Chain A
Amino acid sequence: MKQARPITITGGKLVLAGELRDGAIRLAGGRIEALGDVRAQDGDEVVEARGKLIAPGLIDCGVFAVDKPAFHFGGITRAALMPDQQPPLDLPSRVTHIARSGKPDLWVHPLAAATRGLAGEAMAELALMREAGARGVATGRRWIGDSGAMLRLLSYAAMLDLPVIAHAEDAGLAGEAVATAGEMATRMGLPAAPAEAEALAIARDLALAELAGARLHIRQVTTRAGLALVRQARARGLCVTAGVTPAHIHLSDLAIGDFRSFARLSPPLRSEDDRQAVREAIADGTIDIIASGHDPRGPEDKRLPFADAAPGMAGAEVLLATTLGLVRDGVIDLPRAFALLAGNPGRLLGVEAGELREGAEADIALIDAERPWIVDSRKMAATAGNTPFDGQPMQGRVEGLWKGGVRV
């Protein structure tokens, strides 16, 4: 669907790169035509923002399911889909299919499986999948244990100028663990791995990425030690970015205390000290991207004993509100929040979106940053309500969403 007539959203707060400005925005032909001191023209559809935020639509970098209602609830207009699908995104035809799957009101950017069947061994047809629309290469839910295979992957992806999106948990240490080693896991008698499994994996991947000259994005960096390695590598000039999901920002492993499988995540929830380190890394710029990791799981996967349940959480609906919580807590300001949610993921994926600027795709979210609501796992827009934030109060809701100038 094409945008039929121009829309002017007036009287809002424009969330621009680096600043917040009172003003209006005019969307025409599916693009942002003008913004700032803009007036509606004759024939425009006029939307009164009444002081609310006019922000770029969120770009969710790393989701496990295409779940439109949840994405739209959360202000997400583009999502990068992880290759961990049934079957995995390891063939060009599957990538083509996925790249079309959400249009027109949601653009899905497929991430190509790094290896066939995500088995961590034979490289998949990355160049053909790039042709088919893949915006990056991902190792999937798992780390590639074979360092030789990882180096070959990184150098090949570098040649194709595709970012490699990695999962950082040393497989040998992580084993069958479902929790981070420490008092909590010990009290509960859960199989646990030391948090160092992450730093080990990151250290190796950074060394290999440096060798290969590759762009490396670590989808979730959740420990103090892991974040320190990323910080050092970037200071050395490596092209490495780090992401995290709301769970590791707002919850520690105390949240697994009642064996609630909604808090069973991969990587597992960490100690309070690591959680604090994540917040510091968001504040100091070490973390570039906050993504939902959206992974809706029904009772057949989650209504199980903790260790037997599948990892993952439905995160799309709380992505925006939890990040706005960081703004209220003074960790970051609003422009930075949207850099984390839209600008930086857009740059990583190389798409013309994620920031409000003239000529960019008109993916716009109108947001009431103050509006309170309560997460209710039984009444979610997502296909399943597996959220560890169940029952928690949130602030910030999307009141209007436009994809390519068309209201969703």
Chain B
Amino acid sequence: MTAQAPTPAPSRFPAGRLAFPHRDLTAIARLERHEILFLLDEARQWVDWNRRAGRHSELLAGLTIINAFFENSTRTLLSFEIAGKRLGADVVNMHAAQSSVKKGETLIDTAITLNAMRADAIVIRHGSSGATQLIADKVDCPVLNAGDGSHEHPTQALLDALALLEALGREDLTGLAVTICGDVLHSRVARSNLLCLQALGATVRLCAPPALMPAGVEAMGAQVFHDFGAALAGADVVMMLRLQQERMSGQFIPSAREYHQLYGLTRQRLALAAPDALVMHPGPMNRGVEIDSEVADLLDRSIITRQVEMGVAVRMACLDVLTRTRRGVEGWA
């Protein structure tokens, strides 16, 4: 039996295209609060549906979605692939060799090639900040950013927000204190989350050793900490980031052991946060470095697997919303 796609709930957003007047999803920085809430609302509809057996929709039947990944990925690629397939789209994955990433001709030529193949949406991950926007400017179809360099990872921020809203049973994040700790300098997840969480009303504390904290991040509204204990005090949510060794040029920390000593999330440290503080991690985790296994696996506190689950719903919603104009959905054409 095939579960039918959910009937849209009555919406508190403007009808049609006015709710989300963007062709692409390249950065949270380009979205207004109500547009973020709209995408989250859309995603919510798929959460329960995804838990049913035999779920399959024909919403995107006949559309071709290309996942062009210029950088290695397991979970994000899989998540986008599942999202597209559940909606009935033809999903094609393109793994560009790591060695060709730096050769720009390849990138632009790839964009032109994908465009010529008449993709209906392109999902891009690339190691250089701004690469997704560059491709978006060259193609005729919606482009979704699945992570560009250290710039943004908008669907990750959306899924993190959805996971929080679902776990807390709230409509937005007003008054919540979220601590993000780890390699903020190289993290696109941190940037997208900083913008998204603040748009939804949360205050964001960033914590990292000075060398891994980007300059001027206070101007983006973040509170900056180098002492993990101080950053955790009373926090409602603790989001841990891994060390992105692959993006580091030069030495940023003496050793993983020392890093864990200062910034590892242990059970004792977690006790500094608010009593029911939630634990998040965008993955992949380095257990024993930035997070202890016993914390990552805390059933009542860790929402790490819920994040992964929400990822599929969020990506389904994004693919649905961004292809509405092409599909001639009423009010979107």
Which A residues fall within an 8 A CB radius of B?
175-176, 181-192, 194, 258-259, 299-300, 303-309
Contact = CB atoms under 8 A, between A and B. Distances in A.
Given A183-B219, A189-B191, A305 B250 contact: no
Contacts of B130: 188, 190, 259, 305-307
4 nearest CB pairs, A to B: A259-B130, A304-B104, A189-B150, A305-B128
Given A189-B149, A259-B134, A300-B104, A305 B129 contact: yes
Interface of B: 29, 102, 104-105, 107-108, 126, 128-131, 133-134, 148-152, 188, 191, 214-217, 219-220, 249-250
A244 B126 CA distance: 34
A185 B214 contact: yes
Nearest to B191: A189
Contacts, number: 85
Contact of B216 (A182, A259, A309): A182
A194 to B, nearest CB: 7
Given A186-B220, A187-B191, A300-B104, A307 B129 contact: yes
Contacts of A187: 29, 191, 220
Given A183-B216, A189-B191, A305 B131 contact: yes
Contact of A305 (B104, B105, B191, B217): B104
Nearest to B214: A186
Nearest to A172: B250
Contacts of A308: 102, 104, 128
B133 A258 contact: yes
B216 A306 contact: no
A336 to B, nearest CB: 35
Given A186-B215, A300-B104, A308-B104, 7 more contacts: A183-B217, A189-B129, A189-B150, A259-B130, A259-B134, A299-B108, A300-B105
A299 B112 CA distance: 14
Contact of A181 (B152, B215, B249): B215
A300 B131 CA distance: 15
A186 B128 CA distance: 14
A304 B215 CA distance: 25
Nearest to A305: B128
Contacts of B102: 308
Contacts of A181: 214-216
Contacts of B249: 175-176, 191
Contacts of A259: 129-130, 133-134
Nearest to A306: B130
Nearest to B138: A303
A145 B267 CA distance: 47
B112 to A, nearest CB: 11
Nearest to A193: B215
20 contacts: A183-B219, A185-B215, A187-B191, A189-B129, A190-B130, A191-B249, A259-B129, A259-B130, A259-B133, A259-B134, A304-B104, A304-B108, A305-B128, A305-B131, A305-B134, A305-B149, A306-B129, A307-B130, A308-B102, A308-B104
A307 B128 CA distance: 7
A46 to B, nearest CB: 52
Nearest to A190: B129
Given A175-B249, A186-B220, A303 B188 contact: no
B149 A307 contact: yes
A306 B148 CA distance: 11
Contacts of A307: 128-130, 149
Contacts of A300: 104-105
A175 B107 CA distance: 24
Contacts of A189: 129, 148-152, 188, 191
Contacts of A303: 104, 108, 134
Contacts of A185: 214-216
Nearest to B151: A189
Nearest to B134: A305
A183 B220 CA distance: 7
B232 to A, nearest CB: 23
A190 B191 CA distance: 12
A182 B216 CA distance: 5
A308 B188 CA distance: 18
Nearest to A307: B128
A349 B105 CA distance: 39
A258 B150 CA distance: 15
A185 B134 CA distance: 17
Nearest to B127: A305
B157 to A, nearest CB: 13
Contacts of B188: 189
Given A303-B104, A304-B104, A305-B107, A186 B129 contact: no
A190 B220 contact: no
B17 to A, nearest CB: 23
A304 B137 CA distance: 12
A189 B333 CA distance: 34
A192 B150 CA distance: 11
Contacts of B129: 188-190, 259, 305-307
Most buried by B among A176, A186, A188, A306: A186
Contacts of B220: 183, 186-187
A300 B105 CA distance: 6
A181 B108 CA distance: 28
Nearest to B105: A300
A306 B102 CA distance: 11
Nearest to B218: A183
B191 A306 contact: no
Contacts of A304: 104, 107-108, 128, 134
Contacts of A182: 215-216
Given A175-B250, A306-B129, A192 B104 contact: no
Nearest to A186: B214
A256 to B, nearest CB: 9
Contacts of B219: 183, 186
A176 B247 CA distance: 11
